[in-house]
Amino acid sequence: MSAVVVDITMSLDGYVTGPAAGPGNGLGDGGEGLHDWVMKGSTEDRAVLERSFEQTGAVIMGRNLFDVVDGPGGWNEEMGYGAKPDGESQAPIFVLTHQPPAKTRLGDRFRFVTDGPESALAQAQEVAGSKEIVVMGGGETCYEYLAAGLADVLRLHVAPVVLGGGTRLFPAEPGTTVPLEFTEVVSTPGAQHLTYKVAKK
């Protein structure tokens, strides 16, 4: 069975975007520093990315994130989850949504799931083989998988920025306890790459 990995970058104060995130402003106001480790990181940062891409068999994301990556200024053949310089890209992506869009810019790599996170996971398991299923965002979708006990691993990339507001990974109000066991850290100037096993109840 494929491991389900929640994989997301977070600021030191717990935000995965700055304020006013949306199409054309995917990381929100002032949020660009979150992904400095991706765009201009070290050799170690690139190794973290490459390992994740190679291990990924399917991806799950929420509709808000899809609208960002499919919108103007979003992903293209050379930019996106698992994209390679020659345009090759990996893993199909399952998008949680209430209503599929009438048309998409990025084509048939995306599959829209309207009946919940368990269904998206089941469909991802059918295509992932022995590779990982990566829940990549946004924050609400990542937390939903953690809180429901559907994730096996939490991989946090903690960027050295304080945003002061935006989209939280963990809710401000009391939420579900998620027991974690620390397994690995890769420390670079761009991020602390922290990996935890989710301890099943």
Domains of the chain: which residue ranges?
Answer: 4-198
Torsion of CA 102, 122, 124, 197, to 10 degrees: 130
Structure-token match 């829940």, residue found: 135
Report d(CA 101, CA 86) in Å as an integer. 28
Contact 66, 95 (CB under 8 A): yes
Report d(CA 45, CA 192) in Å as an integer. 10
- Joined together, the tokens standing for residue 65 give 């994130």
Contact 6, 148 (CB under 8 A): no
Cα dihedral sign, 90-143-119-126: positive
Query: Which residues, in sequence order, are bridge partners of residue 133?
Result: 4, 58
Give the model's pLDDT for residue 89. 63
Give the model's pLDDT for residue 36. 95
Per-residue pLDDT of the chain (201 residues; tens, 9 = 90+): 789 999 999 999 999 999 999 998 999 999 999 999 999 999 999 999 999 989 999 999 999 999 998 887 778 766 666 655 555 666 899 999 999 988 888 777 789 999 999 999 999 999 999 999 999 989 999 999 999 999 999 999 999 999 999 999 999 898 899 999 999 999 999 999 999 999 976
Domain topology for 4-198: Dihydrofolate Reductase, subunit A (3.40.430)
Contact 182, 196 (CB under 8 A): yes
